[in-house]
Chains A and B, each alone.
Chain A
Amino acid sequence: DIVMTQTPLSLSVTPGQPASISCKSSQSLLHSDGKTYLYWFVQKPGQSPQLLIYELFRRFSGVPDRFSGSGSRTDFTLKISRVEPEDVGIYYCMHGMHVPRTFGQGTKVEI
């Protein structure tokens, strides 16, 4: 299985300030088709996880542009340019290269 490792595991942020979460995979997530199958999800309190970023950097429908994904092969970053109060939750990275998909441990973002 591909191991996904996130840092930090918790993050306290001030509204309006930037935030960054790192994710590393034990294998390259760059597929021969040129796409990188790395995803970011957020689980807000009491809710199901929801998709933020797919294929490394593409924002899912309705996701604000303050969220951005970057990286390559095994090292990835989710950035929030200016944190809003509604961004509190647990953020997970995940690979989609094969079954089983595996998730990072999660990063809890608090205001």
Chain B
Amino acid sequence: QVHLQESGPGLAKPSQTLSVTCAVSGVSISGSENYWSWIRQPPGKGLEYIGYISHTGYTDYNPSLRSRVAISADTSNNQFSLMLTSVTATDTAVYYCVRDRGWGFFDFWGQGILVTVSS
């Protein structure tokens, strides 16, 4: 069974960098045609797609965040990470890591981690 688990600081200061990691079990992130994705949800609001890293290491991002976001993979530990720079209060959200089997087939989601941007 595939399992994803987010971890990281629950607090980030304005103008600094938010960092969240997703540990994956049950499947190798480099071993099959999957797209390891990040989606966020501000408190009480809807879902926003951030981007993905593929099993080959290719990345693609939401243009609205592209200048501030980077997704990377650590294949030795079977995990992938999100970094978002120059954060403001509007980046406060629950961040979900998700497996995309392609074309938006989001079949496995992590439980989510709330990151609050505040001084």
Name A's B-contacting residues (CB within 8 A): 1, 31, 35, 37, 39, 41, 48-51, 54-55, 60, 92, 94-97, 99-106
Contacts and interface: CB of A to CB of B under 8 A. Distances in A.
A99 B61 contact: yes
Interface of B: 46-49, 51-52, 60-64, 96, 103-107, 109-112
A99 B105 contact: no
B49 A54 contact: no
Contacts of B104: 37, 39, 94-97, 101
Contact of A48 (B52, B62, B103, B109): B109
A103 B46 CA distance: 8
B103 A60 contact: no
A87 to B, nearest CB: 19
A41 B63 contact: no
B116 to A, nearest CB: 18
22 contacts: A1-B63, A31-B103, A39-B106, A48-B96, A48-B109, A48-B110, A50-B109, A51-B106, A92-B47, A94-B106, A97-B103, A99-B51, A99-B62, A100-B49, A100-B61, A100-B64, A101-B49, A102-B49, A103-B48, A103-B49, A104-B46, A106-B47
B61 to A, nearest CB: 7
Contacts of B103: 31, 35, 37, 55, 96-97
Nearest to B96: A48
A61 to B, nearest CB: 8
Contacts of A106: 46-47
B47 A49 contact: yes
A91 B79 CA distance: 29
Contacts of A103: 46-49
A96 B47 CA distance: 14
A99 B49 contact: yes
Contact of A49 (B48, B64, B109): B109
Contacts of B49: 99-103
Nearest to B109: A48
B46 A100 contact: no
A92 B46 contact: yes
Contacts of A96: 103-105
